[in-house]
């Protein structure tokens, strides 16, 4: 694929993400409004909406689209990579300070944990266990890291493994710190994700870690997805970019340490 084609595809993905953001705010969008916003033709917008409906992201209507239930919704890895990138980088830098030379850590699949992986060249003698293929590829080039890739079924579109093979492998390991990503996090529901298989591998990661650190940008706080993989009590540290002071007090009252990335 040419560089120009990749740039055009990424631009289209950014537009689709903006459409989803508008749906979350307004519950509906129109073809005419979107065409004016993006300065593209109505047929182009219809093409976007058709593709997004086929992927289960929205419901098309005459002249536009309406919001679909969000508990089972999940952007793929490529789409996530352009959402809140600055916030994810700041969270990753805070998380890096929690890693000591010689640590054995778990990096869950996710775009925030991927940003953390890119910083690990600053550490020495780190052993990293991950189920994320892209993270493993990044760590392959870092001399100071020994990388263990968890096996299993590849979850298409998400560059990671899930399933019983990975869960069994986790049960045989012991980890100092697990850096876990989440789709949603709230005081009542804890950490949640839209996918059952993803939830099970996350639970396995939590069970073998001495300390659990949840990396969660502020757009996910106060929301809930389909299945819970961790209660608030199972998380030791939450690293985020911004959080309501009342929510923060409630979490800290439950014993959760909250770090806010500046």
List, run by run, the mean pLDDT of 10-residue segments along the chain (262 residues).
41 78 82 92 92 79 80 56 78 98 97 96 96 97 95 90 93 97 95 91 97 95 91 98 96 96 92
Tell me, what's the pLDDT at 195?
87
Tell me, what's the pLDDT at 72?
52
Tell me, what's the pLDDT at 9?
47
CB-CB contact of 128 with 146 (8 Å) = yes
Of residues 261, 148, 248, 155, the one with CA closest to residue 208: 148
Tell me, what's the pLDDT at 1?
37
Q: Which residues contact 236 (CB under 8 A, 6 or more apart)?
A: 211, 212, 213, 256, 257
Query: What domains are there in the chain, each with its CATH number?
Result: 3-68 (1.10.10.10), 78-260 (3.40.50.1360)
pTM over 0.75: no
Tell me, what's the pLDDT at 27?
80
Tell me, what's the pLDDT at 77?
57
Interatomic CA distance for residues 38 and 28, integer angstroms: 16
145-149 vs 126-130, strand pairing mode: parallel
Tell me, what's the pLDDT at 83?
58
Interatomic CA distance for residues 68 and 12, integer angstroms: 20
Tell me, what's the pLDDT at 217?
93
Tell me, what's the pLDDT at 76?
56
Tell me, what's the pLDDT at 3?
38
Phi, psi for residue 169 in degrees, rounded to 5: -65, -40
CB-CB contact of 23 with 29 (8 Å) = yes
Q: Using CB atoms within 10 Å of the CB of residue 97, give its burial: 0 to 12 exposed, 13 to 18 middle, 19+ buried.
A: exposed
Tell me, what's the pLDDT at 20?
79
């Amino acid at each position: 694929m040419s560089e120009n084609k990749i740039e055009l595809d990424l631009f289209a993905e950014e537009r689709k993400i903006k459409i989803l953001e508008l749906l979350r705010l307004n519950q509906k969008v129109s073809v005419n409004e979107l065409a004016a916003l993006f300065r593209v033709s109505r047929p182009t917008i219809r093409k976007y909406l058709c593709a997004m409906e086929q992927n289960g992201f929205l419901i098309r209507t005459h002249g536009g689209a309406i919001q679909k239930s969000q508990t089972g919704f999940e952007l793929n890895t490529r789409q996530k990579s352009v959402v809140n990138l600055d916030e994810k980088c700041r969270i990753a830098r805070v998380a890096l300070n929690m890693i000591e030379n010689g640590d054995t850590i778990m990096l869950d699949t996710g775009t925030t944990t991927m940003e953390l992986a890119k910083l690990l060249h600053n550490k020495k003698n780190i052993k990293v266990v991950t189920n994320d293929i892209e993270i493993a590829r990044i760590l392959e080039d870092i001399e100071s890291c020994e990388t263990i890739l968890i096996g299993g079924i590849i979850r298409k579109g998400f560059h990671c493994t899930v399933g019983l093979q990975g869960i069994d492998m986790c049960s045989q390991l012991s980890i100092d710190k697990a850096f876990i990503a989440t789709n949603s996090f709230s005081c009542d529901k804890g950490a949640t994700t839209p996918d059952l298989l993803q939830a099970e591998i996350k639970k396995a990661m939590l069970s073998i870690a001495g300390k659990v650190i949840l990396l969660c940008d502020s757009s996910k706080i106060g929301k809930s997805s389909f299945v819970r993989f961790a209660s608030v009590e199972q998380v030791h540290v939450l690293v985020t970019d911004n959080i309501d002071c009342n929510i923060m007090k409630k979490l800290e009252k439950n014993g959760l340490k909250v770090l806010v990335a500046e």
